Structure 1
Amino acid sequence: MHNNNDIDILISEVGPRDGLQSVKATMPTELKRQWISALAGAGLREIEIGSFVSPKLLPQMADAAQLVAHGRSLPGLFVTALVPNLRGAQAAFEAGVHKITMPISVSEPHSLSNIRKTHAQVFEEVRSVVALRNTQFPHIQIEAGLSTVFGCTIQGEVPEDDVIRMAVTMAEMGVDEVGLADTVGYANPTQVRRLFTRLRDSVGTVAGSAHFHNTRGQGLANVVAAIEVGVTTIDASQGGIGGCPYAPGASGNIVTEDLVYLLESMGLRTGVDIERLVAAREWLQRGLPGEPLYGFIPDAGVGKNFHYAKKDA
């Protein structure tokens, strides 16, 4: 589905989902459409447009199907959504997503508090979703997004063997990709290198994306560590929106603008135009007035010596 031969690193923009679902206010659908169009116009090729969850639970995500339709209308955009269960998967598949991500907590206490399911129940759900996909929607990809892999606010330490065991279980169940997420911002670069290396050794090409939070300021350092061990898809959120629910006042996701600058200045092509990306913040400011936006590049600019990466540079 992806044709990304002309880039080195794929940035998956998760602001419309991870960002907006952790903000109390609901951004109007029309402004979300404009924002998604502006992000795609800046060169982002993959956008997580929302979550298919009960609107009672997360009214901010009630327009997910409309946003999938909008995303599908933008040329070359790969549209993804977060899906916690079979009901959400059915809705996302029917809406026309290219990929769903199922959040899978490696820490069982986190799973119980986050989606009120034991691991056994989660496995049932994944099996059902994969079966539905295989019989009716064979072209749609399924990613297991393993969360709390670098530690958990409830359980504390999360053994790496548990992470790898969960990744192997997911691969055996037939998911296409297994990504690793630092849900609570505990990860450090040494841990990132080690765990992504083990992930690739255990599940091969099923090893997927990296999702880091900047809660403790380690986000971009962890990105560099992940890239050093061969990760080629990194999640990020425009303006770093999506605070960390367990660390009030902390910025959440890594900032897309800063990530693009980091990668391009390291000679890695992202396909993203920084000026157009920064300009897309305007829709976010309109849609969520007063919400803090993070990032150094929007304030400081790229500097006089900045060049976009070139092929084989």
Structure 2
Amino acid sequence: MKAISYARYGGPEVLEYGDVDDPKVGPDTVLVRVRAASVNPVDWKARQGHLDAILPTVFPVVPGWDVAGVVVRSGPAVPEFAAGDEVIGYVRQDVLSGGTFAEYVAAPVRTLAPKPRGLTFEQAAGIPLAGLTAYQVLHRVLGVRRGETVLVHAAAGGVGSVAVQLAAHLGARVIGTASGRNHDFVRGLGAEPLSYGEGLAERVRGLAPEGVDAVFDTVGGDTLKTSANLLVPEGRLASIIDPGVVEYGGHYWFVRPDPQDLRKLSELADQGVLAIHVEETFPLERAADAHRRSEEGHVRGKIVVRVPE
């Protein structure tokens, strides 16, 4: 099959388009014909070798954990899906090797859920990792409730844009940091936009003089420190980027595959609660350019790789 792969760690130049072995379908896996796969920062961080300490790597590596596609066949222990079903998945496995930037991927059944009917494959591919991250942090870590004020950093990005929508759906007042060019976009998602950078604390206090009930951090560093000082006495703090959050009494979260959570996100998309903005789409053979675009940062929503039928 055709795929993007890399045989060594490095920059985008190590990504090559060509033939790789077809994936094997085990008892608990589903063979999915990939229609689209979205790019996440973890993809190029893995390509650079930053996950080597926590995940065994088997070269050549096909990158990508997000997928939207069509089931070709299921393993003998998988009654949940049948050929022709449209699915989405956060296909993170225990070994870094067979990813989603390919014509086919063998996805463990625990990573899949039905695709939202109302979204294109490109839009749906943007849900899994970003959506699960936002959903799990808001529900499991921060426990956001109606009437609370939530500060979401990088609110125009892949995770942040979903977090804003989900927090607003929970009945929270949402304040979102973003660059000036993205303020209208963030406002349309349901948040009150603020510029990040110097003076952030004063700007947040201007909107929430008593402080905020919860902070969803996607930036880390000085922004995390500032955020900790903006919390009300019983406020909660979570970061998906900086483990140092625990020093401020907060929680660090690394997203995990969960088919029930993913199914809920699919339902919210079909209900019109959750929308996915795709900033740019690249064909599979130009996945290296998709990685470069993601590494530049300041992406509004998602970057997606399209796989031809």
Instruction: Please indicate, yes or no, whether the TM-score normalized by the shorter chain is above 0.5.
Output: no
Write 1 or 2 for the structure with the bigger share of helix. Answer: 1
* TM-score (norm: length of structure 1): 0.31
* TM-score (norm: length of structure 2): 0.31
